[in-house]
Amino acid sequence: MAGIFITGTDTNIGKTAVAAGLAGALKNKGYNVGVMKPVQSGAAARNGKLYSQDAEFLMDVIGEQGETGLICPVLLREALAPSVAAELEGKTIDLNLIRNAYLELERMHDIVIVEGAGGIAVPLKNKFLISDLITYLGMPAIIVARAALGTINHTFLTLEHAKRTGIPVIGVIVNNYRGGVAEETSPKIINELTGIPVLGIIPHDPAIDVEWGRPGDIVSLVEESIDIERIIHFIF
């Protein structure tokens, strides 16, 4: 049994697409893969009920028909940090609910890909951060980083925080590569500064749209661009 937590250097950097692509790539290798989005801020509404568009995207990419209450146990209406969104709705995020859902998914699958909310230091409740959730669940992490200018600083700080909080980091995935000197040189510098491997660089695919449920070629892009074997070796 194994899990991988997908977090990032910021929000809106493609964590959902990367998580879905990795889940699909591992499924194609013969693993029974589960997915999870523990907390969805900015949950959409359908027929008067909230749902997680990120969780649905993850499920659709791998053809999962699992229990949505397990896959996304916490739904929040406002697109804000979970702690703020929950406070506005008068809710308390139940960490035991999240952990029990994860353990059930872990029992059912060989690997569970868990996608966080925003960056690694986003607060879930009070001073309990995404990084605290990762350690609470006892998982290694993959950091998703932008390809654009500024990613060296953001990625370095994210990895330093992960190190300080004791999170085992499998590596960094650079997402949405479009070309340019900054994009071409940043991955090597990130590796040199931190000692953490860059697992691969995923090129920009305009066909990917999580909000509208369009996966584009994300699974094949992950298979072609990411060192899947290194990830498998790390967790097994």
Annotated binding site for Mg(2+): 16, 54, 115
- Residue 37 is among the residues annotated as catalytic for this protein: yes
Q: Which residues are annotated as a binding site for substrate?
A: 41
Q: Which residues are annotated as a binding site?
A: 16, 41, 54, 115-118, 175-176
> Tokens 């649905």 belong to which residue?
56
Distances 124 to 55, 83, 95, 139, 174 between C-alpha atoms, Å: 18, 5, 9, 17, 25
Which of the residues 27, 37, 125, 127 is marked catalytic?
37
Q: Which residues are annotated as a binding site for ATP?
A: 54, 115-118, 175-176
Mutual angle of helices 218-225 and 15-28, in 10-degree steps: 70
Q: Which residues are catalytic?
A: 37
